[in-house]
Structure 1
Amino acid sequence: MTRTTDIMGWGRYPRKPGQMVRPRTETEIRAHVAQNGIIARGNGRAYGDSAIGSASTLDMRAMNRMISFDDTHGQLVAEAGVLLGDVIDAFLPRGWFPFVTPGTKFVSLGGAIAADVHGKNHHCDGSFGAFVNWIDVMDAAGHVTRASRFENTDLFAWTIGGMGLTGVILRAAIRLRPVETAWIQQNSLVAPNLTAAIQTIENTQAATYSVAWIDCLAKGKNLGRSIIMLGEHATLSDLPAERRDHPFSTPQRKKKTFPFDAPTACLNKATVKLFNALYWRKGKQSTGTSLVDWDSYFYPLDAILKWNRLYGRAGFVQFQCVLPLDQSEAGLTAILTETAAAGQGSFLAVLKRFGVQDSKLSFPTEGYTLALDFPANAKTLALLDRLDAITLDHGGRFYLAKDARLAAATLHKSDPRMSDLRQMRLKSGLDRQFSSAQSERLLL
C-alpha cells in the first residue's frame, strides 16, 4: 500500500510531504528498493528527519513477526518491525529482558539497530549493537546479505548506527538478558549541583543502571542540581514474600493519552521553572531504595501516549550531545549556563554516563551525554546553534536519532567518521538508493 502524506518524526518537526509504502513481505520490499531516495522506517520514534525518505519511506511495521527463540542462550530472531515492547511482553514472563533499552519501548528492532540505541547501562554494558548477533540486510538490487562480526563484517559495522543508510534491515538475531523478576531495585540520590552529580555518578559506576534528571533552569550554586536514579534487576530474594510466587506480575499501568495539541503559550519559562522546582522537591523527598516495576523505571514517558503533543502542533526538537570524559564537567557547565540564561528550560533534561565504545558510526564515546527537549521555534533554534558551538569547543559529538536541525559542517567537524560514511556511500552508490531527509541535509 502506497500513500502520500506528511511524514514526521516523534518531535513532529520538521514535517515533509512524501510517499509512504507499507510492505508486508520481503518480496514487496524488493519491489521498492530499486528506486532512488528510499529509507526504511520503524515505529517513527526517531525525533527528527532520519526516518523520512528523500523520495519514499518504507514503513516496516507490518514486518513484525518473531521467528525463533533459543532459551539456552537467550537469542531471539525477529523481523525488523517488531517493537521492543512486543519482545518484553512475550519474554519477560519467561525470565528474559533486553540487554539494552532506550527510554521508550515503542522503538522497533530495526530502528534500535540503525541508531544503535543506548540506555541507562552503557557505562557497563555498551549499546544495543553489542547484543546483536547478526542482521539480514537487503541492498538496492534486492539481494539479502547476512552480516555479523564473523561474516560480511564491514556491512555489519556500517549498519550498526548507520541510520538505515546501508540498506533495509529485514531481520536480526539479538540476545536477551536472564532476569529473576520484573522488578527493579531503585536507589534515588540527590546532588545539589553539577559537580556533585558527576561525582555521585562516578562513585556509583558499579550500579547496572544509572540516569540523572537535571534541573536545567537552576543557576549559581544550584547549577545542574540533579536527581540520580540507580537500578538493579531485583532477585527473588529482594521481593516481599507476597510477590515471590508471581515475580513477573506487576501492576497494570492505566493507558493515558495526551488528548490534544497544547497551546504554545502553555509551555514557557514560568511553567517549566515551576515544573522543575516541584520535581526537584519531590525528588528530595523520595531518596533511598525502593522496589519499582520495570515499566515505571525504564519507560516513565510511555505512561502517556502521544506525550509529544505537549509541545503543540509546531513540535519540539531535542539536543543531545556526548562530551569526552575530561571535558564533560566544563562543557556541561557551559551548556547549562547558556540554557538557564536563555530561559529555554526543558522538562526532560537527562544526564547519563557512557563507557568506552569503539565503533564505525555509533554515537556513544566515553564521557557524559546530556539530552534536552525544547519547543520548536526561532528562539530555540538560535539557542541550539550556541549549544552546538559549545559542544564543538569541548570535543563533543551529536546523536543523529535525536537530530532535526544540525548543520552539515557542524556534524562533520564534530565527528570525522561521518565523512568516512559519506565516502563509502558515494563509492558504492548507496547515496543514490538509500537516503533520508537527514542524510541529504547532513551530506551523508
Structure 2
Amino acid sequence: MPASAELQFPPATSVDQEPPFEGVPPFESWGRYPTYGATVVPLHWQGDFPRAIDGVHHGALAVGMGRSYGDVCLLKDGTLLQTTSMNRLLGFDAATGLLTAETGITLAQILDFAVPRGFFLPVTPGTKYVTLGGAIANDIHGKNHHAAGTFGNHITQFELVRSDGTRMHCTPTQNPDYFAATIGGMGLTGVMTWAQVRLKPIVSRMIDYQGIQFHGIDEFLDLTQQAEHIEYTVSWVDVTSTGKNFCRGIFMQGDHSQVPGPLEPSAKPKLVFPFELPGFALNGATVGAFNGLYFNKQMKKRVTALQDYEPFFYPLDAVLHWNRMYGKRGLLQFQYAIPWEHAREGTVAILTEVAKSGLASFLAVLKAFGDVQSPGMMSFPKPGMTLALDFPIKPEKSFALFDRLAEMTREFGGRLYPAKDARMTAPQFQEFYPQWERFSRYKDPALTSSFWERVTAGHPASRGGSR
C-alpha cells in the first residue's frame, strides 16, 4: 500500500446508486443484451482472490457496477467477482491531488468526497455510476480527450492480484508491462485491489458553457478546430434527418468556471424510469420528432450559460434506470474511432447508412479524439473522430445494421470500443487490435469474459500467461 494510503478516511457519502445486478442468475449488462447466468461472489478488501476462484471451472471475472453495454462485463456460466464492497477511500493529498481508494468505489462517491474539497475527476465518462476499477479496465475517455487523454493517463499506481496469489505493485516504472496491459485490459490481467488517481483542482461546481448549432460535418469540423483551447467539447448529432438537415447537431463546449462558487456535493437523483417501454415506442417517427425538438430547443444559434457540472457531464444520471426506455429486449451501442485521414468520409458514410436503415438513435454523440497517447496497451481512443450511437434491439434490423457498420468501420481504418460492443467478430477485433496477442501474455489464465471468448474464438493465445 502506498504511503498516502496510511491516512484513513470513512467511505464517501452514499449516493442512490443503481444496483449493478437486480437478480442472479441471470443478470444483464447496461445494454441488457446478451443475458447470461453466472455465480456472483462479493469481494472485500480482505478477500482472498485466489481462494474465491478455487474450484471454478468456467473462469472468473471481476465486475463493478455492470455499466458496460455489451458482454465485456459478462461471463456465461462463470463466476463474477463483484467489487462494489471494496469502496473505501484510503488516502488523499490535497497538495498534489492524489487520491488512493479501493477499486470498487464509484466515481460518484469520489466526486462526493472531492468536489467539496475543490477537486474534480481528471477525465469522466457520461455516467458517474462506474467504479474506479472499471474506469481503469476500460480506460474510459470523456469530453476532454484532446486535452487530457484517457483516464489511464492520470493513474499513478495500483495493486494487481493474480490468481496464483502474486501481488504486484504496478506503476509506469515498476511492472510497467502489467501497468500498460491492465489499463484498458478489460479486467483480464488480475484483480486490482486499490489504485491512485490524480485529481484536478476546481474553484466551483459550475461550467462556462456554450451550445452552438451546426449544419453538416464541415461545420462540426470547423467548430472542433476553433475549440482546441476549450477543455471539454462534445456534439449531439441528429442521425435521423436527411437532405439539408443531414448531420445537423449541437456542439457543446465548456471549461470549469474560474469564478469561485458553490462546491457542495450533488443531490441524490430522485427520478426513476418506471417501466420498460413497448418495442414500438422508439421508432423513426418518434425519435425524429424528438431530434427536431432537441435541435430547436435553443432559440439562437449560439447560447452561453453558467451550468452546473451534473447536467453538463451526466444528463442521463438524473433518471435512474433510464435504459428501460429501450424495452425488455434492451439496446445495442455502437462506437467507433476512425483516424483523421478517413474520419470525414467514414462518418458521412456511416451516418448515411444509419439514416437509410430507418432505425432510431437519439443519443448520438460525435466528438474528436486528440493525440494524447494512452498508457494502456489495449486502449480504444486514437486521433480522429468518434461516433457513439445506441438503438433499441429489433432483431430483424438491428443486428444486420450493426454488422454493416462494423465492417464499414474496418474499411475506413477504424476500430470499435469493447466496452460498448456486443457484435464485433473475432476477425474484426484481431484487426482492430493487432496487439491483442502481445496483451494475452499478461492475461491471467483464470480470468476471462464472454467478450474475450467471442473475439478470440478459441485461439491458442487467448488463454493468457501461466498461473
Which shifted more, 361-370 or 411-420? Answer: 411-420
Q: Supply the AA of the counterpart residue of 2:407.
A: A
Q: 2:46 aligns with which of 6, 26, 47?
A: 26
> Which 5+ residue runs of structure 2 have no aligned equivalent?
1-22, 457-461, 463-467
Q: Supply the AA of the counterpart residue of 1:98.
A: L
Pairing 1:409-424 to 2, within 5 Å after superposition: 409-422=427-440, 424=441
1:43 paired residue number: 65
Report the CA distance shift for 1:250/1:53 in structure 2 as closer, same or farther (over 3 A): closer
Q: 1:257 aligns with which of 260, 269, 272?
A: 272
Pairing 1:340-379 to 2, within 5 Å after superposition: 340-356=355-371, 357-358=373-374, 359-378=376-395, 379=397
Q: Is 2:396 aligned against 1:396?
A: no
Identity %: 40
Q: 2:225 aligns with which of 202, 221, 224?
A: 202
2:341 paired residue number: 326
Q: Is 2:197 aligned against 1:166?
A: no
Report the CA distance shift for 1:188/1:160 in structure 2 as closer, same or farther (over 3 A): same
Q: Is 2:451 aligned against 1:438?
A: yes
Q: How big is the shift at 1:93?
A: 0.6
Q: How big is the shift at 1:329?
A: 0.6
Structure 2 distance, partners of 1:420, 1:409, is: 16
Instruction: Provide the TM-score with structure 1 as the length reference.
Output: 0.93
2:107 paired residue number: 84
Q: Supply the AA of the counterpart residue of 2:453.
A: E
Structure 2 distance, partners of 1:215, 1:33, is: 47
Q: Supply the AA of the counterpart residue of 1:13.
A: Y
2:140 paired residue number: 117
Q: How big is the shift at 1:249?
A: 4.2
Q: Is 2:22 aligned against 1:7?
A: no
Q: Supply the AA of the counterpart residue of 2:428.
A: T
Q: Is 2:132 aligned against 1:95?
A: no
SS at match of 2:297: helix
Deviation string 1:227-275 (CA, Å, 9 cap, x unpaired) is 01101000126xxxxxx4xx21488475200001111111111111111
Aligned length: 430
SS at match of 1:61: coil
Q: Supply the AA of the counterpart residue of 1:29.
A: F
> Which 5+ residue runs of structure 1 have no aligned equivalent?
238-243
Structure 1 distance, partners of 2:317, 2:361, is: 18
Q: Is 2:290 aligned against 1:275?
A: yes
Q: How big is the shift at 1:287?
A: 2.8
Structure 1 distance, partners of 2:24, 2:308, is: 41
Deviation string 1:413-436 (CA, Å, 9 cap, x unpaired) is 2221223324x25xx7x3x41101
Q: How big is the shift at 1:132?
A: 0.3
C-alpha RMSD over aligned residues: 1.7
Alpha carbons 2:269, 2:317 under 8 Å: kept = no
Report the CA distance shift for 1:43/1:156 in structure 2 as closer, same or farther (over 3 A): same
Q: How big is the shift at 1:111?
A: 0.1
Instruction: Provide the TM-score with structure 2 as the length reference.
Output: 0.89
Q: 2:161 aligns with which of 129, 132, 138?
A: 138
1:240 paired residue number: none
2:5 paired residue number: none
Q: How big is the shift at 1:284?
A: 5.0
Structure 1 distance, partners of 2:299, 2:175, is: 51
Alpha carbons 1:189, 1:287 under 8 Å: kept = yes
Q: 2:198 aligns with which of 175, 195, 198?
A: 175
Q: Is 2:91 aligned against 1:65?
A: no
Structure 1 distance, partners of 2:153, 2:274, is: 38
Alpha carbons 2:282, 2:360 under 8 Å: kept = no
Q: Is 2:101 aligned against 1:107?
A: no
Q: Supply the AA of the counterpart residue of 1:363.
A: F
